[in-house]
Chains A and B, each alone.
Chain A
Amino acid sequence: MKVTTALAALAAPAILAVSAAPATAHDIENETVELMTSLDELNDSGGSGEAWAKVTGNEVWIKVEVQGLLDGAPHAQHIHLGGAAECPDPSMMGSGYEGAIRTTDAIDSYGEVRVSLTGNDADTSEAAALDVANFPADGTYTYERTFEVPQDVAEGLHHGDGVVVVHGVDHDGSGEYDGEQMSDLDDSLPSEATDPALCGALQEGQMSAPGGGVATGGGSTGGLENTGLIAGGALLVAAGAGAFALNQRRRAES
């Protein structure tokens, strides 16, 4: 979190520089680029989400929010680089279950895995692409981590070439990863475990986005804010009733 704060502070002046000139190999060091994308479903995964990243030099902070994927199953998530920096057409015919798109089917669109978005301080390189134990294992989750990437990956991200892909689709609705077909990435895993479920091409942001919600409320409208008026009215009623009673008594006495 400390890093996030520092990055946010850096981001405001840096963003001007970013929009002024595209990053080149030598000038990314002191530059923060802010990247965003919505994550759209592939393979009718039923999921949705968004990714938000800030990259300064080789340091990457990223937050990924995902909803609606298969619960209780690991979802490998990566940043791909080296393709056309885009997501495949969701309706493209793939080599998977009933034409499903498998990871390698769309490699021309998003390129190869260059960053593995693992948790638990695990390796974030492509070597950890199928580090199943360290990926989120819920259908809905928020992932946030800061880590370093190699120079060429940093440059690709600064150029806005990164594509976030989240994997794991239960094509047959069995509630788990299974099926005849094995993964095109690892033949010990069912293809369902590695088929792409969500995809978003990171785009350069148009501002340094504020974090979280906005504190634009001062007080509740639920309470009794007219207490003065109500108390005054009550006082008048009491005084009037008292005076009336007193007067009646006095008249009766005299």
Chain B
Amino acid sequence: MSTDQPGQGRRGVLLTALAVLAVLVGVVVIAVGVATQRPDPPSPPAATSAAEPTEATGGPEDEQPDEAGSDDPADDGQSATSAPGSSAQDEGQDGQETEQPAEPEVAALDPSEPVEVRIPSIDVVSPLHPLGLAEDGTLEVPSGDRYDEAAWYDGSPTPGEVGPTVIEGHVTGAGGVESVFFDLGALRAGDTAEVEREDGRTVTFEVYRVDQFAKDAFPTVDVYGPTDSPELRLITCGGEFDEAEQSHEDNTVVYARMVEG
């Protein structure tokens, strides 16, 4: 008995230390768990108030009656408003400012299907696969093994052809895990996206507008309508998540035009 006493005492101290350690580690684990809760996907700034951090409040399009700005040189004005001041200055180094007034003239390419999309500013590199329309006329979305890959709508022009090339990707997967286009809403005017084609050519597009629309007010003509030169539309989901519908209420759409190919 008496020989046990010191040992028990030592074991007691050890146990106490272990218990305290367990509590500490537990607290740290909880803290990490809470701190790394996935944030909501980024949203583009509201068109009129670029400085304000944005909640998904719905209608930037209401404030922008002339949405596409399709046939006037006001495009420059639009790019300027959709670019928050800071990033516009950053872009200035690349001679962005001098390029903006005149739209770069690039020659359209012959058709060749896209195989990969790269968006350096949000670290996206994804292979592309073709998808079509579902029976109800909506765009099919990536599924199965390719859930987390971006897809090209095979009814839209191939990148570099005249018209809007449509590329879509999921924002999240089941349980809210980030997917390939999670950060799409963080893109700003002046950012670039590159699309590699089957024929080995890479087409570079420059973002001129990022917008978020309620799905039930999706501006079909604005997004999918005809354009005079090769353009790109990157589409994902955004906004509030509707638990009842199990889907996001909005779509985030990035508009870009070809600058190099």
Contact = CB atoms under 8 A, between A and B. Distances in A.
Interface of A: 4-5, 8-9, 12, 15, 36-38, 40-41, 46-48, 50-52, 63, 65, 67-68, 203-226, 229-230, 232-244, 247-248, 250-251, 254
A168 B43 CA distance: 36
B198 interface: no
Contacts of A225: 37-38, 175-177
Contacts of B168: 214, 216
Counting chain B CB atoms within 10 Å of each CB, the highest count among A52, A65, A229 belongs to A229
B30 A230 contact: yes
B137 A38 contact: no
B87 interface: no
Contacts of B247: 215, 217
A223 B175 CA distance: 8
Interface stretch (B16-24, B47-55, B73-81, B119-127): B16-24
Interface string B2-40: 000100110010011011111111111111111011111
A145 B160 CA distance: 35
B12 A247 contact: yes
Given A4-B137, A40-B66, A250-B12, A222 B40 contact: yes
A220 B241 contact: yes
15 contacts: A15-B155, A36-B221, A40-B66, A51-B221, A65-B219, A207-B157, A210-B133, A210-B139, A211-B138, A215-B139, A219-B246, A225-B175, A230-B29, A236-B26, A240-B23
Contacts of A221: 38-41, 172, 176, 178, 241
A6 to B, nearest CB: 10
B70 interface: yes
Interface stretch (B94-102, B189-197, B201-209, B223-231): B223-231
Contact of A229 (B29, B132, B166): B29
Interface of B: 5, 8-9, 12, 15-16, 18-34, 36-41, 62, 65-68, 70, 132-133, 135-139, 141, 147, 153, 155-157, 162-164, 166, 168-179, 181, 213-216, 218-222, 224-227, 235-238, 241, 243, 246-248, 250-251
Given A210-B138, A210-B139, A236-B29, A216 B169 contact: yes
A52 B176 contact: no
**Which one of B28, B33, B218 has the greatest number of beta carbons of chain A within 10 Å?**
B33
B131 to A, nearest CB: 10
Given A15-B155, A207-B166, A244-B23, A251 B12 contact: yes
Nearest to B5: A254
A244 B226 CA distance: 71
